[in-house]
Amino acid sequence: MAGHGHSHGPVRSEPRSPWLHGSWLRALWVSFLFAFIAIGISAFIRYLLGDPLHGAEMQEVAATFGLTFWAIGFTVGIGCFDYWWGYIIGSPDWVQEDHSAHGAYSWRDYFKVNTDHKVIGIQYLVLTFIFFMIGGALAEGVRAELASPGTQYFSPGTYNGLFSAHATLMIFLFVIPSFAGIANFVVPLMLGAQDMAFPRLNALSFWLLLPGGLIFLASFAVGPFSAGWTNYAPLSVHAPIGDTFFTIGVQFAGASSIATAVNFLVTIVTMRAPGMSFWRMPLLVWANLATSSLVVLGTPFIAGSQFMVLYDRVMHTHFFDPAPAATWSSTSTSSGSTRTPPSTS
C-alpha cells in the first residue's frame, strides 16, 4: 500500500516571485552573483598579497573561481538546494513529504527542477541530444576542413579546438548522460519502484550537467581548449586559458555522473519490488549495476587528474610539470609577471 501515501501533486498556495524562488531568472542572477563574489574575494586576497590584478595569472584565477562558482550558483538559483536549505533553516514552508516538484503536469514542468525520475529522464535525453547536435556540428567542421589538403576554413589552433570539443561534448555530455537519461526513465519502472532512491540528488545530478556543458562551449569565447579530450599533461599545463574551462567543466560532468551512479546503486540494491531477486532483474538493470560501480570507482580518478592539472596551471603545484616556476613564466603567453608563486609558508 506504499503508493497511497504519495498521491499529492503540486501544493502551492500563492504565486511566487520568479526572482526569489527556484527559476531560470533566479539562476541567472544568483550564478553571476556567486561568480562575481568568488572573483572579488580572490582578487582581494591577491591585492593583500601584493600580486598583480591583471595579466595571465589573474585571468587563470578569475576563470577558475568564476566558472566554478558560476556553475554552483546556477544549481542553487535554479532551485536544486531549496528543499535542503528549507530543512536547515527550519523554514515554515518545509514539509517532510514534499511532492510539490514531482511529476510533470504541463510541458513547463520539464524546464524546472523536478524530482520525478521520468521527468528527469526526459530532461537528460533532450539536453544530451542538443549537445549531440552541437558535437556533431563541430565534427562536420572538422570534416569540412579535412575535405581537401591544406588549410581552408579553420586555423590549426581552431581545428584542435573543434576536435577537442567534439570529443568532450560527445563523451561527457552525450553518451554518458544519455545512458543516465534512459536508465533514469526505465530502471525504477523495471524494478517496480516509485522513483529513484534519492530523487532530489537525481535532480541535482541533471542540473549539474547543463553548466558543465555551457562551460565547455564558453571556452570558444576565449580560445578553445585544444589538447584533445585526453588533455595530456604537461601540454595542458602550459596551454592557453581555454584549458581551464575544460578542467572545470569535467568536474561538473563528473560530479553529475558520480551522483547518478550512487543513486542507481542504492536504487537497484534497495528498491526492488517484492519477488524481484537479482536473478529476475532485466539485463538493462544488471548493466546499470555494473556501470554505476565503474563510475563510482573510476570517475574520481579523472576528477583527480583534472584537479591536478588545474592546480598545476593556477597554483603551480608541479604534479605533472617538473620544471621550476621560472620556466613556466617564460613559456606562458602574454604573462606580465615573471615572479614565482608565493610559497605556502
Is the link from the previous residue into 52 a cis peptide, with omega within 30 of 0?
A: no
Q: Contact between 280 and another protein (CB under 8 A)?
A: yes
**195-224 positions binding another protein, by CB under 8 A:** 195
Q: Contact between 154 and another protein (CB under 8 A)?
A: yes
User: Site for another protein (CB under 8 A): which residue of 10, 18, 324, 336?
Assistant: 10
| C-alpha dihedral, 73 to 69 to 175 to 141, nearest 10° | 110
Cβ closer to another protein: 23 or 160? 160
Q: Contact between 118 and another protein (CB under 8 A)?
A: yes
**125-144 positions binding another protein, by CB under 8 A:** 125, 129, 132-133, 136-137, 139-140, 143-144
Q: Which residues contact 94 (CB under 8 A, 6 or more apart)?
A: 83, 86, 87
Cβ closer to another protein: 52 or 298? 298
Report d(CA 196, CA 2) in Å as an integer: 15
Q: Contact between 295 and another protein (CB under 8 A)?
A: yes
**306-345 positions binding another protein, by CB under 8 A:** 308-309, 319-321
Q: Contact between 92 and another protein (CB under 8 A)?
A: no
User: Site for another protein (CB under 8 A): which residue of 276, 311, 316, 325?
Assistant: 276
* Least CB distance to another protein at residue 180 (A): 8
What is the pattern of x (binds another protein, CB under 8 A) and - over residues 168-187?
--xx---xx-xx--xx-xx-
Report d(CA 165, CA 299) in Å as an integer: 19
Of 28-36, 40-48, 211-219, 275-283, which part binds another protein (CB under 8 A)? 275-283
Kindly state the DSSP code that residue 196 receives in the 8-state scheme: -
* Least CB distance to another protein at residue 35 (A): 28
Q: How many residues of this chain bind another protein (CB under 8 A)?
A: 102
* Least CB distance to another protein at residue 327 (A): 14
Instruction: Judge residue 116's burial from the number of C-beta atoms within 10 Å of its C-beta, 0-12 exposed, 13-18 middle, 19 or more buried.
Output: buried
Report d(CA 20, CA 200) in Å as an integer: 20
C-alpha cell at 72: 554552483
User: Site for another protein (CB under 8 A): which residue of 209, 281, 310, 314?
Assistant: 281
Listed in sequence order, the DSSP H helices in 192-234 are 199-222
How far CA 111 is from CA of 30, 108, 151, 233, 341, in Å, comes to: 17, 6, 42, 38, 44
